[in-house]
Amino acid sequence: METEIIRIGGAGLDGGEFTEAEERALLHAGEIIRAGGLVAFPTETVYGLGGDALNPDSARKIYAAKGRPSDNPLIIHIYRFEDIYGIAGQVPEAAARLAEAFWPGPLTMILPKASGVPPETTGGLETVAVRLPSHPAARRLIRYGGGYVAAPSANLSGRPSPTAAKYVVEDMRGRVEAIVDGGEVGIGLESTIVDLTVDPPQILRPGYVTEEKLAGILGRVELDAAVIAPGGGEAPRAPGMKYRHYAPRGKLVIVEGEPDKVAAYVNGQAAQERAAGCRTGVIATKEMHGQYGADVVKYIGSRDDEETIARNLFAVLREFDDEGVMSIYSESFSSQGLGQAIMNRLLKAAGHHVVRV
Ligand code: TXA
Ligand code: MG
């Protein structure tokens, strides 16, 4: 299949108006979705792979394009709040409060599903995941695409989620009808998922909307045990969280401890592995960047600036692949606030391989 690349940019992405040509292009992309095709598009979190959420064939095509198991349910994206009533069988008052506080934005809510949502979209579950993204191109596309767009992250199953169009092109060219290129995303980690069908509500996937922020609105909120369980022993409640995810091709190990000891350990390992002919890499903070002697040292941001670390994480993992790095060491991060989401993704990428020095 020939994949059309649709470039948009400029004022529309900054909250201003899209040009007429961009509007036409987004309308055309929306028509592809209405006709049952797939369009990858930017959101504020990561790029999504969109299809008509109410069309079972579109859901099947999404699974096929990603190489994703079809028991892994899809998030349905809407562009205005009232459309939630079309796909959720019940909208608790807590959902309205969360929407008021965090929508449009990087939050997904799990609610009981309405009968019109095909089981193909929800992986056979009786619940549905709903999100109203803030990215202007995403909202336009959802509207032009019929109002209900199912979209997983636009990566091949198992690979890091794409934070720029070039990564979508890498994974999806030839597999989808079109890719909307809106440059780099702002957040870089997928939305927070909160399950409102249980009491107290449960965070199934941490993200930019942190536990603290959710607790501020909901009062009580719990974290799915699998999100924090060392070794990933618990079965997560979001089906997609059970798969090895975000993984670079190389082996990834998280090294925890005093900065000097971490550097000494990493440098020792890197020297040995290099001697054995293996290219090594390090995911380093600004503070420690100069301390490492591996083949490729990637600077991920300053330790105090978690937003930058979040935005860079998936791109850095992909770059190691491009540079043929087969053994990667990463510093560890705090698990508070946004750090909870960063560590959740990093641990999954590492298959929970952590070394304490
Ligand atoms: O930021 C995001 O959420 C991005 C962008 C494109 O919006 N999308 C995304 O979708 O991350 P995906 O498919 O890669 O991740 C969706 C996660 C999976 O772990 C899936 O199992 C879970 O949401 N999920 C979806 N529906 C669910 C449901 N009804 N109950 C529990 N978990 C659900
Ligand atoms: Mg994903």
**Greatest pairwise CA separation for the chain in angstroms:** 61
**Span 196-228, pLDDT tens digits:** 999 999 999 999 999 999 999 999 999 998 886
**Span 224-239, pLDDT tens digits:** 988 866 655 567 777 7
SS3 category, 264: helix
Confidence of residue 242 (pLDDT cuts 50, 70, 90): low
Average pLDDT, stretch 77-84?
98
Phi, psi (degrees; rounded to nearest 5) at 246: 55, 15
How do beta strands 354-356 and 178-181 pair? unpaired
SS3 category, 241: helix
From CA 125, how far away is CA 132, in angstroms rounded? Answer: 20
Q: Concatenate the DSSP letters of all residues of 175-231 into one string.
A: TSSEEEE--B-SS-SPPEEEE-SSSS-EEEE--SS-HHHHHHHHS--EE-HHHH-GG
From CA 258, how far away is CA 158, in angstroms rounded? Answer: 31
Joined tokens for residue 330: 């990463």
Q: Which of 159, 190, 224, 242 to mutate to test the pocket of ligand 1 (most atoms within 8 A of CB)?
A: 190
Residue pair 327/275 in contact (Cβ under 8 Å)? The answer is no
Region for residue 36 given its phi and psi (left: phi exceeds 0; alpha: psi -120 to 50; beta: otherwise) = left
Report pLDDT for 225.
Answer: 85
From CA 301, how far away is CA 13, in angstroms rounded? Answer: 24
Nearest protein Cα to ligand 1, atom 31: 238
**Span 260-272, pLDDT tens digits:** 999 999 999 999 9
Task: Please state the atom number of ligand 1 nearest to the C-alpha of residue 72.
Answer: 21
Average pLDDT, stretch 8-13?
83
Joined tokens for residue 76: 């349905």
Report pLDDT for 306.
Answer: 96
Phi, psi (degrees; rounded to nearest 5) at 169: -60, -45
Task: Please state the atom number of ligand 1 nearest to the C-alpha of residue 113.
Answer: 29
Joined tokens for residue 218: 């909901």
pLDDT above 90 (res 248)? no
Place of tokens 């720029």: 164
Report pLDDT for 12.
Answer: 81
**Span 28-49, pLDDT tens digits:** 999 999 999 999 999 999 999 9
Cα 142 to the center of its chain, rounded Å: 18
Q: What letter does residue 83 receive in the DSSP assignment? A: G
Strand partners, 284: 299
Give the distance (Å) from ligand 2 centre to CA of residue 152: 6
Report pLDDT for 79.
Answer: 98
From CA 155, how far away is CA 187, in angstroms rounded? Answer: 16
Task: Please state the atom number of ligand 1 nearest to the C-alpha of residue 49.
Answer: 6
Report pLDDT for 249.
Answer: 86
Average confidence score pLDDT of the chain: 94
- Global pTM? 0.96
Q: Which of 44, 72, 75 to mutate to test the pocket of ligand 1 (most atoms within 8 A of CB)?
A: 75
Joined tokens for residue 322: 């491009």
**Span 313-348, pLDDT tens digits:** 999 999 999 999 999 999 999 989 999 999 999 999
Q: Concatenate the DSSP letters of all residues of 110-164 into one string.
A: EEEBPTTS-HHHHTT-SEEEEE----HHHHHHHHHTTS-EE--BSS-TTSPPPSB
Q: Is 122 in the pocket of ligand 1 (CB under 6 A)?
A: yes
Nearest protein Cα to ligand 1, atom 32: 238
Q: Is 202 in the pocket of ligand 1 (CB under 6 A)?
A: no
Portion of the chain with pLDDT greater than 70, in percent: 97
Give the distance (Å) from ligand 2 centre to CA of residue 274: 33
The angle formed by the CA atoms of residues 229, 232 and 234, to the nearest 5 degrees, is 70
Q: Is 129 in the pocket of ligand 1 (CB under 6 A)?
A: yes
How do beta strands 75-77 and 149-150 pair? antiparallel
Question: Which residues have beta carbons under 5 A from ligand 2 (an ion)?
Answer: 153
Confidence of residue 244 (pLDDT cuts 50, 70, 90): low
Q: Closest Cα partner for 188 from 211, 157, 167, 172?
A: 167
